[in-house]
Amino acid sequence: MIDIKLLRQDPGGVAAQLARRGFRMDVDWYVSQEAERRSLQTRLEDLRKHRNEGSRRVGELKALESPAEELRVQLEKLTHLDRELVDAEQAFRKLSAGLEAFCLTLPNLLDATVPEGMEEGANQELRRWGHVPDFAFKPRDHVELGEMIQGMDFSAASVITGARFVVLRGILARLQRALTAFMLDWHVREYGYEEIYVPHLVNRQSLTGTGQLPKFESDLFRVGPDVDWFLIPTAEVPVTNLARDHVFSGSELPKQWVAHTPCYRSEAGSYGKDLKGMIRQHQFEKVELVQITIPGESSQAHERLVGHAESVLVQLELPYRVMLLCAGDTGFASAKTYDLEVWLPSQKRYREISSCSNFRDFQARRLNARWRQDAKSKPDWVHTLNGSGLAVGRTLLALLENRQDESGKVSLPSCLQSYLGGIREIRGGVGREHPNG
RNA sequence: GGAGAGAUGGCUGAGUGGUCGAAAGCGCUCCCCUGCUAAGGGAGUAAGGGUGCUUUAAGCCCUUCGAGGGUUCGAAUCCCUCUCUCUCCGCCA
């Protein structure tokens, strides 16, 4: 949520900033509602004050056993006042709810360094790493490689469930598990993240806290009708909600959390996009980094966080580039987002494999997540950040495509070998634990 | 699934209709005392919002005792619904 004081003070300025995203804020509606709220609240509080004073007087009169007449008059007065109060309260509740709902749909303010632009093409490339493989043959895509290895089965998944799911078998199932374990261990060991295990079903409040609700319910899978729970679209939701309603002490920040979870997305509105293969699935594995910092440190933390995600690609020897997202491409809750894009030989282009965002205090307000410098100071909002470190499914397919040879054999980077019993390469029928299996 | 108990401030925990935003203790902050430390003494210590201000004041006021409704002039306290926690039984990975 945007700072409510800033919004009240300068609604036009906020609207102008949000316009960078292509978001149109109804300033007139807001200003008039806010003015009405203010006057209504003053009146309501005044009524309540009189009610409180009157009730206290009743108590006094009863205690003093004063004349019944005075008591009767007082009670009559209060009954009348109460009727007025009920009406005012109802009007105020309605108005506040409307304003609250309005504020929950406003996206975050953008960082000043976020480039203008509404299209993906306006994103800014900051740097590249690694060598894009120069194949002397026509590289196969991961679907074909997966078939040759007999480890990737889309039709089996569509029988079990439907489109946009996959079944992995044998070495590829193990490879996915190895990648997950490697990423978790890497972030814990190299950067001191605390590994977290979380629920994969979350309630409405958690999703509102991180910003998926109320605007993006159609992107989610809801579990119902008996319970109002949702399958998580990312570990960001449960992990960031660890900070909800919490006041951190300055000494315990920053928090660095890493979690592996499956992610479930309805992919509504992506019809026709990435229909083939593992790029866009309803279910995928992801290792997520989440940080909670004090406000002054989130920018540096953001840079470091991207570095942590990048280091995984370096370890896996996968060529990638770092993009600074433009205004129109930056997510609802984010002030600034870097995407990591990995090279996919079959598509001859870079595709997103990680998204690292600084939310500043936007989520913290929704989550009521605060910190306190020391015992004497007032609590203030924390800053929250997160990034994929990395999307495991896409990592797996990037690995297959980038490290294939003409025969369809795929070599494995050394960092994974301890996770795979020393296997160095995969090919059709090879790389299995038991040759006859 | 069955039976029962509970949810109060950073923590523990009193409080069953009228100065209760809330006793007491712990913790924390400041001060005093004491070569240092320890012990001791004193004071303070919830959050959010409105008004004020036109600048981040004082003061005044409102709200909040798990959440939401209700009864009442008045609710932490009584009633209803929900959520969560705990204990016992059953079942179960």
Task: Determine which one of A298, A334, A355, A388 is catalytic.
Answer: A355
Which residue in A8, A280, A304, A427 is the catalytic one?
A280
Domain boundaries defined on chain A: 26-104, 120-426
| Closest to A383 in 3D by CA, of A298, A325, A262 | A298
Cα–Cα distance measured from residue A219 to residue A212, given in angstroms and rounded to the nearest whole number: 9
Residues with Cβ within 8 Å of residue A251, at least 6 apart in sequence: none
Residues in chain A: 437
Helix (H) or strand (E) holding A178: helix A170-191
* ipTM of predicted assembly, 2 dp: 0.84
Annotation marks residue A355 as catalytic? yes
pLDDT in tens, A83-139: 888 888 888 888 888 888 899 999 999 999 999 999 999 999 999 999 999 999 999
Name the helix (H) or strand (E) containing A313.
helix A298-315
Q: Does domain A120-426 have CATH number 3.30.300.30?
A: no
The 10s digit of each residue's pLDDT in A210-220 is 999 989 999 99
pLDDT of residue A165: 96
Nearest nucleic acid nucleotide to A44, CA to C1' distance: B62
- Residue A352 is among the residues annotated as catalytic for this protein: yes
What is the rounded CA–CA span in Å between residue A207 and residue A357? 17
**Of A265, A360, A370, A403, which one is the catalytic site residue?**
A265
Residue A429: the pLDDT is 57
Q: List phi, psi (to 5°) of A214.
A: -90, -5
- Is A270 a residue of the active site? no
How far, in Å, is the CA of A256 from the C1' of nucleotide B10? Answer: 23
Strand B: residues with CB below 7 A: A 4, 8, 38, 41-42, 44-46, 48-49, 51-56, 58-59, 62, 75, 78-79, 82, 93, 247, 374-376, 378-379
Q: Is A140 a catalytic residue?
A: no
Active site residue A366: no
